[in-house]
Structure 1
Amino acid sequence: MSRTKTYGLLVFGPYLGRDTWGIRAHPHVALRIKRIFPRVEQSRTGDIYIKHTPEVARDLEWLLERFPLEMSEDVAVRLKTEAEAHRATEEVVTAILEGYRPPDTWRAPARPARPYQQQAADIVHARRGGVLIGDQVGLGKTYTSLLVLRDPAALPALVVCPTHLPAQWLRELEATLPWLRGHIITSTKPYDPTARRGSDGRQPDVWITTYSKLAGWAHHLHGKIKTLIFDEVQELRTGTATNKGRAAALLAEGTLYRAGLSATPVYNYGDEAWEIYDILAPGALGSRDEFLREWGGGQRGMNDRHVKVANPRALGTYLRDTGLMVARTRAEVGRQLPEPTRVTQDVIADHAVIDRVAGDVEAMAQLLLSPDSDPKERWSAAGQIDWRMREATGIAKAPYVAEFVRLLLESERRVVLWGWHRAVYDIWLEKLKAFQPVLYTGSESAAGKARSAQEFIDGRSRVLIMSLRSGAGLDGLQGVCSVGVFGELDWSPGVHSQCEGRLAREGQENQVLTYFMLSDDGTDPLMAETLNLKSGQAEPIVNPDAATFAPVVGDVDRARALAADVLARVRRRAGQLTLP
């Protein structure tokens, strides 16, 4: 029998810090490979490089059936082993999604699990890697992730959560798995918890910390943690560009299980999904460049950030099919609550306030729009213009927002009011002081936030003023309030959904109603337009079947648009431009 014809060479080894498959193939085969593997990287020599994952090995095995490649015995064994591992994982994940329940002998939780919660925990166990649990707000993601810890091999575990949630996590742990010892980390510097009163000399089974303390503990806990749970995992959407991201990536090394929890993991553009998975399941989506070649398609923003995914619905389906994400709606699991009703409410704004600030930032607007200015100076100017103009818009409409809330309180027991700027909060506090408003923002300590929430729940306050990006995961408001008001907007649609999720969750007996207070001046018109664009990126990834706003054609360069608006406003005030 004649020797099998080969079409090139396949090698395996480190390349740019990661295990990589290298291919040198005949030209026509190389072209075919690039069509089959959109994430491939081609060198100047014509060689092809693909970062290793078990899925890539499986696809290469399939490719070699049509175009055999020469390889060493070690490479052949590696390819077969990795492909079989992927095949086995795929089979069990598919079986679980179709209703199979893997048997186990672990201790049962103190509260019985619902089938969909156990299914997600089973997938985390089956993958033995990172899974994003993106169930809709109110479906019990915290409880679901704790089910993973029934496996003794999953201990010790580390829960990382926002600043206001450690005590809530400890209560949930004690109610679900009461035989495990939990410990809330109280310092940014490592210490021995066995020396603390009440420890009985035992190390914790479950450590609980916040993202702000993570960097201080990463090296101390590295290699000791078997399971990582990232609550509100969108905190990692900037990846390893931040200290907390680098600390999270370090801790993830060598862990058996990793779970990320968030109903809104993508706040802005689709490339945030890669940043999260690069920590949660390293390599699962390839390198960043590979991810953008395979899934990208939009223009890149400043510093190569903010990249749109060409088909977010397809990406979401892929993540589900591979078990990298488990995301169910309330309707899918039979625990349906009415979706929040959103109402856009036109509101008056004091144009003079916005005009004054526009005059103050005119020079920065000119710098931002000048093609000859320094890129770093443009970046700085963009941030300052964004902050100043958003604050001015909030201040300009704050009295009118407060009056609207006052009218709502004639018929509602309580109202949650969301905003962003301290100067805006001060106006609301003064205008609504008859209702004993309390603050839950980035300025209060965790204890202060807890006191504010409790005063609101107990009825001592009728207005809870919350920062748009505070309170993710907070539970308890749904029992006393069903009406929220967005007095200011966030650039990210996921932030608004998270805010609504504080009210629209299990235990809510009324239809949740949220009002978006929109001015026809300042930053509101541009933000409303941008939010439609971003909804087209974020929602289909988590829920491919969801109806979303039609995205705006083209990307919205919000900084330049704000700068152009500033200059137009200044010219109008100077009489150089006629109002339409």
Structure 2
Amino acid sequence: MDEDDFEFLPKSLRNKLLPFQRKGVQYAIGKQGRCLIGDEMGLGKTIQAISVAYYYRSEWPLLVVLPSSMKYPWIEELEKWLPCLQPNDINLINSSTDVSNISKAAVSLVGYGLMQSSFKTLLEALHERDFGVIIVDESHFLKNPKAVRTKTLIPLLTKAKRVLMLSGTPALARPAELYSQINCLSKGQFGSWTNFAKRYCDAKWKFFGRLKKWDTSGACNLAELHKKLTTSVMIRREKKEVLTELPPKRRQKVPFELSESKQTKELDALWSELRSYLNREAASEDGKDAGFEIRRLSMQLYISTGKAKIAAISEYVRMLLDNHDMKFLVFAHHKEILTAIVQTTQAYAREKESTLKYIRIDGDVPHIERMKEVNRFQQDPCVRVAALSIMAAGTGLTLTAASHVVFAELHWTPGVLEQCEDRAHRIGQHNAIHIHYLIAKGTIDEWMWSALNRKVSVLSSTLNGRVQQMNAEVLGEGVGIPKNATLLPSTLDDEEDDSFFFSQTPK
């Protein structure tokens, strides 16, 4: 397929594609429309997928599976680039009973949340429609083969002739997370799950205390896996390779001491209790009970650390506000911290008698309202602060008006943090992006930071073919974790633990 072959696209879409995006389209068509577009966030995977899907338009209907927060941005993109689509051609599935238009629409969009085995009416309607082309946006949502949505989607994907998976972070923490995606695209190419796990995940039976478990949280033969991925099912480009004019992204670790308070004393007590359970697990005494307590105490430490950091976070926000006209994003997990960021901004505006404004996007903000808030931040010079939930605002939003991104709290998964960073560092950004990670010394922050760097080195070897780090200074062990403790990866770092940890942590 050469440059002249792009005549099949509408003129506006054809003229919009950058050279590397055209190569992505060519790659996907060369793979008969079954591949993973794994370009870094912000490189325009959506427009490539729309182009490939349009190439196969004679095989439509088209199904787009996506996070709920991405439904309206996808509709906008489809209407923008494919003017041939009439309003009735696009069907947004909003509930498990919203099936009447599936049989008539050329394009249907469904959120991952509706892919549940209990929604039989919807699933039957999707299977009966016989979709010839399916786009799976943020395909790392299928990382867990045991998850209901994965089990529900795989039969649809296997049945379709063309399947395009899109993810800037196809594996968020470890090679095991790739298997469901790549095996679906190229059945048999990567062997059985057991063989894949042994070859690339360093899988083995392990005892954690008295509990015997098949551990696939490791990694091995990563250069071989990278080569196999890129020659069979995946195309991946990094920003620095294809967007030579995109300004740099600079990470800065901002360590600070917590002022002594009632909260810091609570943290000390929690650490002391946690160490005793880590020692017990390392000594294989009551391993199962110790593992449960380690989870509980780790969650409590995460909550308590966030609360203890509020004063320092507020002070940091005020410092950034002193830089007039600068726009910035602040990510956090807990609503209490997001509220503190908003209150700090409001108080600053009153003190300075300024027209300073902010936006806040968390799980309580309806998806359609989120886009309105994004537009306010992008267009109104008075809106300088965006208080954002790590999980609710980490994907699907373009916030290139910001030049600084602050992480008030961390997440166990490096891919999630990178997605948040790249709300600002993407096509359309003209300023250097400064990333600030606020790390409270002597807390779970240091522990998580070390774990993040270990995971980044594994993922970069797998996806990019070379070892990389977070490129920020990493402190030594400062919280007294026993060296023989098996907390990571066995207790908090196996396939389900990241999602478990954050689903169980009050927001």
Q: TM-score range by the shorter chain?
A: 0.7 to 0.9
2:390 — aligned with what? 468
Q: Distance in 2 between matches of 1:176 and 1:135?
A: 20
More off after superposition, 406-415 vs 165-174:
406-415
Counterpart in 2 of 1:128? Answer: 32
The residue type equivalent to 2:157 in the other structure is A
Aligned to 1:312: 222
Q: Aligned pair in 2 of structure 1 residues 287, 555: CA closer, same or farther (>3 Å)?
A: farther
More off after superposition, 550-559 vs 129-138: 550-559
Is 1:557 aligned to residue 487 of structure 2?
A: yes
Give the C-alpha shift of residue 492 in structure 1: 1.4
Change (3 A) 1:474 1:103: closer
The superposition leaves residues 210-245 of structure 1 with CA deviations (integer Å, 9 ceiling, x where unpaired) of: 111222433321251112211111222123x11211
Aligned-pair CA distance for 1:335: 4.8
Superposition misfits of 4+ residues, deviation over 6 angstroms: 298-302, 360-365, 549-556, 559-562
2:423 matched to 1:423?
Answer: no
Per-residue deviation, residues 499-539 of structure 1 (Å, max 9, x unmatched): 11110111111101110111112201111111110011112
Q: 2:293 aligns with which of 381, 384, 388?
A: 381
The residue aligned with 2:501 is none
Trace 1:57-72 onto structure 2 (pairs within 5 A).
none
- Is the Cα–Cα contact under 8 Å of residues 160 and 208 in structure 1 kept in the other structure? yes
Distance in 1, matches of 2:370 and 2:408, equals: 20
Structure 1 residues 177-206: Cα deviation after superposition (integer angstroms, max 9, x where no partner): 221332221113342127xxxxxxx82211
Residues 187, 105 of structure 1: alpha-carbon distance in 2 compared, 3 angstrom cutoff: same
Q: C-alpha distance in 2, partners of 1:502/1:549?
A: 17
User: Does the C-alpha gap of structure 1 residues 121 and 208 become closer, same or farther in structure 2, counting only changes over 3 Å?
Assistant: same
**CA-CA distance at 1:333 after TM superposition:** 3.1
Q: What is the match of residue 405 of structure 1?
A: 317
- Where does residue 138 of structure 1 map in the other structure? 42
Query: Contact 2:203–2:216 (CA<8 Å) still a contact in 1?
Result: no
Answering whether residue 234 of structure 2 is matched by residue 325 of structure 1, we say: yes
The separation in 2 between residues aligned to 1:389 and 1:442, in whole angstroms, is 23
Q: Deviations over 1:100-134 (max 9, x none)?
A: 56958845453213333233223323323631111
Q: Which amino acid aligns with 2:384?
A: R
Tell me which amino acid in the other structure corresponds to 2:387: I
Per the TM alignment, residue 421 of structure 1 is displaced from its structure 2 partner at its CA by: 1.5
DSSP 3-state at the match of 1:432: helix
Q: Superposition RMSD on alpha carbons, in Å?
A: 3.2
1:295 matches 2:225: no
- Measure how far apart 1:442 and its partner are: 2.5
Equivalences for 1:140-289 in 2 at 5 Å?
Answer: 140-150=44-54, 151-180=56-85, 181-193=89-101, 203-215=104-116, 216=119, 217-222=122-127, 224-239=130-145, 241-289=146-194
* Mapped partners of 1:559, 1:475: distance in 2: 32
* Contact 1:399/1:431 (<8 A) preserved: no
Asked if residue 513 in structure 1 is aligned to residue 414 in structure 2, the reply is no
The answer to whether structure 1 residue 341 and structure 2 residue 243 are counterparts is no
Matched pairs, number: 453
Structure 1 residues 438, 521: closer, same or farther in 2, change over 3 A? farther
From the superposition, tell whether residues 452 and 362 of structure 1 become closer, same or farther in structure 2 (CA, over 3 Å): farther
| TM-score of the pair, normalised by structure 2 | 0.80
More off after superposition, 335-344 vs 169-178: 335-344
- Length-normalised TM-score, structure 1: 0.71
Correspondences of 1:89-108 after superposition (within 5 Å): 103=5, 106-108=8-10
The reply to whether residue 392 of structure 1 matches residue 304 of structure 2 is yes
Change (3 A) 1:415 1:536: same
Counterparts of 1:555 and 1:320, CA distance in 2: 36
123-132 or 337-346, which deviates more:
123-132
Contact 2:38-2:169 at 8 Å conserved across structures: yes
Rounded to whole Å, the distance in 2 between the matches of 1:205 and 1:429 is 43
- Between the aligned residues of both structures, percent identity stands at 22
One-letter amino acid matched to 2:108: W
Change (3 A) 1:102 1:291: farther
1:110 counterpart residue number: 12
- Per the TM alignment, residue 161 of structure 1 is displaced from its structure 2 partner at its CA by 1.7
Contact kept, 8 Å, 1:348 with 1:400, in 2: the verdict is no
Once residues 274 and 468 of structure 2 are traced to their aligned partners in structure 1, the CA distance between those partners, rounded to angstroms, is 39
Aligned equivalents of 2:274, 2:3: Cα separation in 1: 60
Distance 1:123 1:168, change over 3 A: same
Shift of 1:491: 1.1
Aligned pair 1:541/2:451, yes or no? no
Question: Unaligned stretches of 5+ in structure 2?
Answer: 348-355, 477-482, 493-507
C-alpha distance in 2 between matches for 1:332 and 1:360: 45
Q: Distance in 2 between matches of 1:559 and 1:546?
A: 19
How far the C-alpha of 1:400 sits from its partner, in A, is: 0.6
Q: Given that residues 218 and 251 in structure 1 are in contact (C-alpha distance below 8 angstroms), is that contact kept between their aligned partners in structure 2?
A: no
In 2, the alpha carbon distance for the partners of 1:540 and 1:367 equals 33
The answer to which structure, 1 or 2, has the higher relative contact order (CA under 8 A, 6+ apart) is: 2
Query: Aligned partners of 1:518 and 1:388: how far apart in 2?
Result: 17
Aligned-partner residue type, residue 469 of structure 1 = M
8 Å CA contact 2:199, 2:220 repeated in 1: no
Select which of 405, 412, 433 maps to 1:491: 412
Shift of residue 554, structure 1, vs aligned partner: 10
Q: Distance in 2 between matches of 1:305 and 1:129?
A: 34
User: Between Structure 1 and Structure 2, whose CA radius of gyration is higher?
Assistant: 1
Q: Secondary structure in 1 aligned to 2:159? A: coil
